[in-house]
Amino acid sequence: MVTAINNVSVKGKQVNIVIEDGRIRSIGKATRTGKGVTVIDGTGLTALPGFIDMHVHLREPGFEYKEDIESGCAAAVRGGFTAVACMPNTKPVTDSPYLVKYILMRAAQADKCRVYPVAAITQGEKGEQLSEMKKLKDAGAVAFSDDGVPVSDSRMMKNALLYAATFGLTLIEHCEDKSLAEGGVVNEGENANLLGLPGISNAAEDAEIARNIVLSEVYDAPLHLAHVSTRGGMQLIREAKARGVKVTCETCPHYIALTDAEIAGYNTAAKVNPPLRTEKDRLAVIAAIKDGTADCIVTDHAPHSKEDKDGGMYDAPNGISGLETSYAVCYTTLVESGTITQERLSELMTYNPAAILGVECGRLEKGGLADITLVDNGAEWTVDPQKFASKGKNTPFAGKTYKGRVEYTLVGGKVVYARREEI
């Protein structure tokens, strides 16, 4: 299979990219035409390494009415993602080799993007007994997390870190002190008070970040901290990295672009965990992205049905359907504003997630894996969740206008998404 992308921008230069057998054959003046060659006119477009999201919820098995692997992968490629790592809070929990293999089988059937299963740290995500990590890794798991259920028992977390490090595995930890967060539904502060809603303080997140950093440092074991949303959390991580602690972290587009002002009118689309924070926290997250404290941007893609999200602020589940808005939100907020470069955004959305998970990513160089996203950075578009490929239409970005639109997504040189086919 041969694909030629003609007259496309790569790092500011207009080039032609020739792809053969899933890899980049050349970048320069040469091109290919003829029978069996897929030709893409890249005029006005920028070629980027395909995005990798190391924190998504594909919901299958068990919650297919919210999302399934096929619809989740369709949403991923529509958002420019060539690979996603899916969290284990399925039903049953992904804590057995059988379920890891099932997810990989369903991803192969969907035949869209690469899917990397994340298995549970503890059996059933109950925090009582470690999962069989080596068997899960052998089955295809790339990392371990109890996701929205923090490993609260410090001895269990210590054992998990040591066990995972033995096999070169990554732990992804949701940082939340449940005793401090109990009963809260939104960020603690003025906006919660105006609505009469119980809040979740920054301390609930910061306290667990601090504990996990201590464990990582004392036992010299790598640890990845999920969806960091607070200024205190980023400062703790910054200081830990300066001491040489093997800690990495991620944040999300909604913590970069939004604040807890979005909950006005009891807007359940803005209900997430950790909650949207204050403007000071948002700016601190951006500062952490700029100075290298934050390693990755992930979506924490969490699709829900309309019926579930319409349940009111107390009962509605947390989460945003984020795969199809991520690039535009990040490009507009971070690159278009001049805060970071396009290259830095690629590090956050491609190279760093791949390095943490230990998977290959697309590189725009001869011989590189041909996982490529073509974007029109000049295009403005307004978010309409009814056009999402995801089953989840739950997003606080609805009706907002951003720059940066995904036009094509290629996985292994194969076009798996083309916007022109939607027009």
What CATH number corresponds to the domain at position 398?
A: 2.30.40.10
Q: What is the CA 277 to chain-centroid distance, rounded?
A: 19
Q: Active-site residue among 300, 308, 371, 376?
A: 300
Contact 368/410 with Cβ under 8 angstroms? no
Q: Please tell me whether residues 117 and 246 are part of one structural domain.
A: yes
Token pair belonging to 378: 């000049």
Rounded Cα–Cα distance for residues 199 and 177 (Å): 13
Asked if residue 235 is part of any domain, the answer here is: yes
Asked if residue 168 is part of any domain, the answer here is: yes
Q: Please tell me whether residues 327 and 392 are part of one structural domain.
A: no
Q: Please tell me whether residues 387 and 267 are part of one structural domain.
A: no
Asked if residue 343 is part of any domain, the answer here is: yes
- Total of domains in the chain: 2
Identify the pLDDT of residue 423.
61
Contact 161/122 with Cβ under 8 angstroms? no
Rounded Cα–Cα distance for residues 346 and 349 (Å): 5
Q: What is the CATH number of the domain that holds 172?
A: 3.20.20.140
Q: Please tell me whether residues 39 and 55 are part of one structural domain.
A: no
140: containing domain: 50-357
Q: Please tell me whether residues 264 and 345 are part of one structural domain.
A: yes
Tell me whether residue 220 is one of the annotated catalytic residues: no
pLDDT along the chain (423 residues), means of 10: 94 95 94 87 97 98 98 98 98 98 98 98 97 97 96 97 91 96 96 97 98 97 98 98 98 98 98 98 98 98 97 96 98 98 98 97 95 98 98 98 98 95 72
Asked if residue 272 is part of any domain, the answer here is: yes
Rounded Cα–Cα distance for residues 419 and 93 (Å): 35
> Domain boundary at 314, 338, 357, which?
357
Q: Please tell me whether residues 403 and 351 are part of one structural domain.
A: no
Of 421, 408, 415, nearest to 22 (Cα)?
415
Predicted TM-score (pTM) of the model is 0.97
**CA within 13 Å, CB half, 77:** 25
Q: Please tell me whether residues 314 and 415 are part of one structural domain.
A: no
Q: Please tell me whether residues 341 and 319 are part of one structural domain.
A: yes
Q: Please tell me whether residues 412 and 280 are part of one structural domain.
A: no
> Domain boundary at 304, 333, 357, which?
357
Asked if residue 110 is part of any domain, the answer here is: yes
Identify the pLDDT of residue 362.
92
Asked if residue 335 is part of any domain, the answer here is: yes
Helical spans, DSSP H, in 119-229: 133-139, 154-166, 178-181, 190-195, 202-218
- Other beta carbons within 10 angstroms of residue 210's beta carbon come to 18
Please tell me the total number of residues recorded for the chain in this structure. Answer: 423
Q: Please tell me whether residues 200 and 180 are part of one structural domain.
A: yes
Rounded Cα–Cα distance for residues 10 and 326 (Å): 21
Q: Please tell me whether residues 38 and 120 are part of one structural domain.
A: no
Helix (H, G, I), strand (E, B) or coil at 337: coil
Asked if residue 217 is part of any domain, the answer here is: yes
Asked if residue 363 is part of any domain, the answer here is: no
Q: Please tell me whether residues 269 and 302 are part of one structural domain.
A: yes
> Domain boundary at 309, 338, 357, which?
357
